[in-house]
Amino acid sequence: MTTPKNKDTRPQVGEETQSYTLSFEDYLAELTRSLGTINKERINQAIDILIQAYIDDKTIFIFGNGGSLAAAHHMATDFMELSLKIKDQLKNQGREYKVRALSLTPELFSYALDDGENPDWAQSFVMELKGRMQSGDVLIAISGSGESPDVLRALEYGRDHGAKSIGLLGFRTGGKAAELVTCPIVVDSNNYGPIEDTHSALLHMITGGFKRRIIEQPISKGGI
């Protein structure tokens, strides 16, 4: 007699769930499982992209919506902390450490108006990138669903203008954003809470790994 396999009771792809639907124990179990599925090779790839941007004196732009916007500012702050540790190195090389977190502001909303009347919020991040982003810059998109129109438009704009991109994504597939970014890092969960918590861990892994490589092996213009 064969033993029946345990049925996978997790929500299937496309079935969105909220944190309040999970008990305390189930939330911890889902978070632990999500953390265990992180693709370490993708993390190293993301760090390599950022190191190359640093070597080439390029700018890093980070963006997201809602809780992901807060994570974007958190990540930018952690990146900028490094500039204090290597300020002498930067000064001696005549280099600026360039990291920007994109924010949704009333000014951007007014610029994003379509025909002067109908707001096109999907252009908000693109408006911030225009005139700032250059070929070789890096975009870091943070999005649980990977389907937010403003995030997708920004990634399309970056792709079309020579930027590389990293996506901290979720919902098992990463949505449309996973197809647009150079390096997709997808959290294998359909629950926003564990996805956002795992994104927080990922941003610490990425910024921490980047800092270690910069400090342990100082990089000058043109290479290591």
- 157-180 per-position pLDDT tens digit: 999 999 999 999 999 999 999 999
- 135-164 per-position pLDDT tens digit: 999 999 999 999 999 999 999 999 999 999
Contacts (Cβ under 8 Å, ≥6 apart) of 148:
64, 65
The mean-pLDDT minimum among 14-23, 65-74, 169-178 falls in 14-23
pLDDT above 70 for 85:
yes
Strands of 84-196 (E only): list them. 99-101, 113-114, 118-119, 138-142, 164-169, 183-186
The mean-pLDDT minimum among 36-45, 73-82, 92-101, 198-207 falls in 92-101
pLDDT of residue 3: 45
pLDDT of residue 105: 52
Residue 75 in tokens: 């990540």
pLDDT of residue 14: 44
The mean-pLDDT minimum among 2-11, 136-145, 146-155, 195-204 falls in 2-11
pLDDT above 60 for 224:
no
pLDDT above 70 for 111:
no
| Gap between the Cα atoms of 128 and 125, Å rounded | 5
Under DSSP, the state recorded for 54 is H
pLDDT of residue 58: 92
Q: What structural domains does the chain harbor?
A: 39-216 (3.40.50.10490)
| Gap between the Cα atoms of 209 and 213, Å rounded | 6
Contacts (Cβ under 8 Å, ≥6 apart) of 16:
145, 171, 190, 192
pLDDT of residue 102: 77
| Gap between the Cα atoms of 4 and 14, Å rounded | 26
The predicted model gives 118-123 an average pLDDT of 72
Quick one: how far is CA 57 from the chain centroid? Answer: 20
The predicted model gives 50-55 an average pLDDT of 92
pLDDT above 90 for 127:
no
If one compares 186 and 84, the residue with the highest pLDDT of the two is: 186
**What value does the mean pLDDT of the chain take?**
84
pLDDT of residue 22: 85
Phi, psi of 66 (to 5 degrees): 60, -125
Portion of the chain with pLDDT greater than 70, in percent:
80
